[in-house]
Structure 1
C-alpha cells in the first residue's frame, strides 16, 4: 500500500516540478484527506499527475513583464512596467472522498489544490517631475495564495487493460483558479464573458464545471470581458499565454477589454483577469495588493473530453 502511494506521489511531484522553470517547488499531501484508503488516494494522485493541465495553469506563475501606456494617470511615482519573480511554490492537496458503494469504496473525490507562491513584485518606475528620465526598480514582497478544485469519479475498468490508459479515477469537473495576495483587499466581484452566442457571467471562480462544459473558444475568436470590482480606481489586466494588456476603466467599477484567442495545440487553456490596487503600482511604499481569477477554456469541442480517457 505504501509503495503504491509513494509511487503516485512521486509521479505528481516530478510532473509539477517540471513546470516550475527552475523555481523551488514542494508538495505536501494534506492531512485533510478523508473517507478513502491510502490505495484510493494513490490512484487519485496518479490521475492528477496524468492530467496536469487541470492541476496547474499557465498564468499564475507567469513572469513576463507588462508594459504601461502613458495615460494611466499620476501618482507618487510613474510606473513603466511590472513583473513578478516567483522564488518558491508550496502545494498541498486536500482530498475529500464521498458516495461509498455497497463495498464501502468511495465513488467521488473532491480535491482542493492549494498553493502558496513567494517572491517579489517588481515595478520599473520613474520620478513624476518633468524632464526627469531616471529609472529604478521597486521590489515589493509577494505572497500569493492560489486555490483550485477538481472533481473525480471512480468508474469500472477492465483489469486486463493497461491501467495507464484506463484509469479508475477520472477528472470530470474543474473550477477556475483564484489567486489572492496575502492581506489584500482588492476584490473581483464578477467577470462577464461574451463571444458570439456565448454570454455568461462568472461570480465564483471556484464553482465546479464539467470538463466538457468549460468555455468553448475556438482559435481567432473575439472575446469581450467585462470585470466588476469593488473600486472604480483599480487597475485591471488581462493575462494569458500570448496576451497581456490593461482593461479600459468605465468609471463605475467595471472594466472592459476585447481580445482574440490564439491558435495553440493545447486541449485545455486558461485566461486570467487580474485586479490590483492603484497604490500597488503608483506608490512605491504601499504593499502589493492584487487578486486574479483564472478561467479554463477549450479551443476545440472535444479538446477537454478528459472523462473518457
Structure 2
C-alpha cells in the first residue's frame, strides 16, 4: 500500500513541459530548402516567394503550404518570428538590431564552398532551431548516399558550363562535387579558381571530354545567352557528349546536392562513362 501511495503521489506532481520550438521564417530559397528539410512543420511561419516558383524551386509543391514573404524587414516585423534565416548577402542585415528589439534573431547562412560546408551548415541550423537530432539524421543519410556515388572513378575531363559562359573552378562546391564523383574539372585543371567565365577561345583550343550543362533549359535574355548560342560553341556541343544538371537542385549547394549528384551519375552511366572494370 505504501508503494502504491508513493506512485500515486509522484504521478500527481506536475510534469515539466517540453520547451516549445522557436518559430522560424526563411527569406530566400537556399534558407527555405534547409528549413523544409529539418524543421518541424509547425514552427515554420513563412517561406520566401522563390520557394513556390516551380521554375527554380524543387520544393514548390510543399512550399505552398506556408505563407510566402518577400524577404523584407517589413515582412519580418509583421511575422515576428523567433528566428529569421537570411542569405549572407541580405542587404537588410543592417536592421538586425531593430529586429532583435522585436524578439527576432537573424541568422545568416554562409555560401558553401564544398560538400562538407553543406553538411555543417545544415547541422548548425538544425541545432539553432531546436532540431539538432533531426539534423544529425538527415546529414548522416546524405553522407551515406554521397559516399555510395564516390565508389566509382571516371577519367573524363568535364567542363561545367552555363549559357553565359560561366563555370566553376577550384574552391567551389561544383568543383568539389565533380572531383567527389571521380571526374576531372577542366576549369580547375586550367588554373581557374572560384566562379568565372570560361573563355570561348580556350574552349575551342582545349575542349572537354564531357560537358555538364547548367541552366541551358531556362529562358535567358539575348545578352545573357550569347555565349551559349555562339556557332563555335554549338559545333563543339554537337561533337561532345553532354549531361545536364538539374536546375532546382544545384544553385544553393546544400543537402540537395546529393540529389543532383545521383542524377548526374545516372546520366553518366547511360553514356557508359564509368572506367572499364567498374560497375
TM-score bracket, normalised by the shorter chain, equals under 0.3
| Structure index of larger Rg | 2
Tell me which protein shows more helix as a share of its residues.
2
TM-score, normalization: structure 2?
Answer: 0.25
